[in-house]
């Protein structure tokens, strides 16, 4: 057995106090996101863990990339026929989490995921490099594939097929927007007395703010 008991770290880079937070969690998320971005060290600040309940009833988590956020929610893109796509279409309750180790921060977001409009999906797909567009078409995401060569051969065929043709978004590929119902901000603090501030969305469109014990 690998004993990791001695893996210890003291968290002392910042604090999260009620006297210095906005009423809206999106504003705080925006502040934290850009502080981490400006601080450097996290090569993909927009990398987040997406957790879903699979068709087999088990939770499953994987890292995806956040592509846009606003008061409406958090947007990422995927193949709707993938494992995560099918899971979300069956059970739209999901969780997003960010871990920014350089700033000793986490953000955990609970919410409901729905498909973005076709226009939003089209606009983002059109902004992608041609290689990424063709990769989305070449891969039957989450399906069993016999070898790497199958994927590369398919991509080569598509490159020839679309060499002089615009590449349109396939209907099975697009965005999801996660509308948050709960957002928790976690700031590492000394002696494991971490700061945890939770926002819960209320029926009157306001956010209830609580401090949680670490």
Q: H or E stretch including 130?
A: helix 130-138
Can you state the percent helix, strand and coil of the chain, rounding each to 5?
Answer: 30, 35, 35
pLDDT for res 9: 84
Beta strands in 85-205 (DSSP E): 93-100, 105-115, 173-187, 195-201
Chain center to CA of 211: 24
Mean per-residue pLDDT over the chain, rounded? 95
For residue 189, pLDDT over 90 is answered with: yes
- d(CA 212, CA 197) in angstroms, rounded, equals 6
| Domain contains 161 | no
Write the CB contacts of 40 (distance below 8 Å, at least 6 apart in sequence): 102
Domains held by the chain: number:
1
pLDDT digits (tens, 9 = 90+) for 75-97: 999 999 999 999 999 999 999 99
- d(CA 193, CA 70) in angstroms, rounded, equals 31
| Domain contains 56 | yes
| Domain contains 91 | yes
Write the CB contacts of 161 (distance below 8 Å, at least 6 apart in sequence): none
Least confident of 9-13, 55-59, 209-213: 9-13
**pTM, two decimal places:** 0.94
Whether residue 192 lies in the annotated active site: yes
pLDDT for res 96: 98
| Domain contains 158 | no
| Domain contains 22 | yes
Question: 61: domain CATH number?
Answer: 2.30.110.10
| Percent of the chain topping pLDDT 70 | 100
- Among candidate residues 62, 192, 196, 211, the one labeled active-site is 192
pLDDT digits (tens, 9 = 90+) for 22-31: 999 999 999 9
pLDDT for res 198: 98
Domain with 34, as residue range(s), is 18-125+173-211
Q: Phi/psi zone of residue 25: left (φ > 0), alpha (ψ -120 to 50 degrees), beta?
A: alpha
| Domain contains 136 | no
Place of tokens 């990424």: 132
């Amino acid at each position: 057995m690998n004993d990791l008991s001695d893996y210890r770290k003291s968290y002392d880079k910042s604090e999260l106090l009620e006297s210095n937070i906005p009423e809206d969690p999106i504003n705080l998320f925006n502040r934290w996101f850009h502080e981490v971005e400006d601080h450097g060290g996290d090569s993909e600040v927009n990398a987040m863990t997406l957790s879903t309940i699979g068709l087999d009833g088990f939770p499953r988590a994987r890292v995806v990339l956040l592509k846009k956020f606003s008061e409406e929610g958090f947007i990422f893109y995927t193949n709707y026929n993938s494992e995560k796509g099918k899971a979300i279409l069956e059970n739209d309750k999901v969780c997003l989490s960010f871990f920014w180790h350089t700033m000793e921060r986490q953000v955990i977001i609970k919410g409901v995921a729905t498909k973005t409009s076709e226009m939003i999906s089209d606009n983002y797909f059109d902004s992608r490099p041609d290689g990424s567009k063709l990769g989305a078409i070449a891969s039957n995401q989450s399906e069993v594939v016999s070898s790497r060569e199958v994927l590369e051969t398919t991509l080569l065929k598509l490159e020839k097929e679309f060499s002089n043709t615009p590449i349109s978004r396939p209907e099975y590929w697009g965005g999801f927007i996660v509308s948050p119902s709960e957002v928790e901000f976690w700031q590492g603090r000394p002696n494991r007395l971490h700061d945890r501030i939770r926002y819960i969305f209320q029926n009157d469109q306001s956010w209830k703010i609580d401090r949680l014990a670490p």
